[in-house]
Amino acid sequence: MTPSEIITADAQRNGVNPNSVITKMEKLLKSKKAIMLQHGDSVLIIRKFGDGLAELHIFTTDTPREIINAIKTFISKIKKSDIQTVYGNADNNQIIRVLKSLGVIVQNSDIDGYNWKADVWAQ
């Protein structure tokens, strides 16, 4: 699947307007305020917002096993970057459980608007 197909399917599954999500992601990517990684039918949007800080958002149509493989790949790539701490706002705790199962030390966020964070160097 293409990234836009993945984002559209994920948005529809979560009851969100896919057109507004696609438009927002396109603006972030075109303005180089975010980058996109894809593995299988999972897309990770990484938006840096401070020195060593980044917001993560995953869109997926993968099976649970495929999502785990995608997240492993994303973690590996993030560890090779200059990002020190990542933040997210999980709609459900499934992503947090997956991250913890992969050895990621997930903590409560210290920044409003996010409900979790992880220090990349601590992994």
> What are 54-104's pLDDT values in tens digits?
999 999 999 999 999 999 999 999 999 999 999 999 887 888 999 999 999
What mean pLDDT, rounded, does the chain reach? 94
Residues of the chain above pLDDT 90, percent = 90
Q: Return the domain boundaries, the chain.
A: 3-122
* Tokens found for residue 94: 């499934």
Cα–chain center distance at 102: 15
Residue 92: its pLDDT value, please? 76
If one counts every other C-beta atom within 10 angstroms of the C-beta of residue 99, the result is: 21
Amino acid at 54: A
Q: Give the class (CATH, top level) of 3-122.
A: alpha beta
- Among the listed ranges 1-5, 25-29, 33-37, 119-123, which one has the minimum average pLDDT value? 119-123
Are 56 and 44 in contact by the 8 Å Cβ rule? The answer is: yes
Q: What is the pLDDT of residue 122?
A: 61
Residues constituting the chain: 123
Band of pLDDT at residue 123, cut at 50, 70 and 90: low
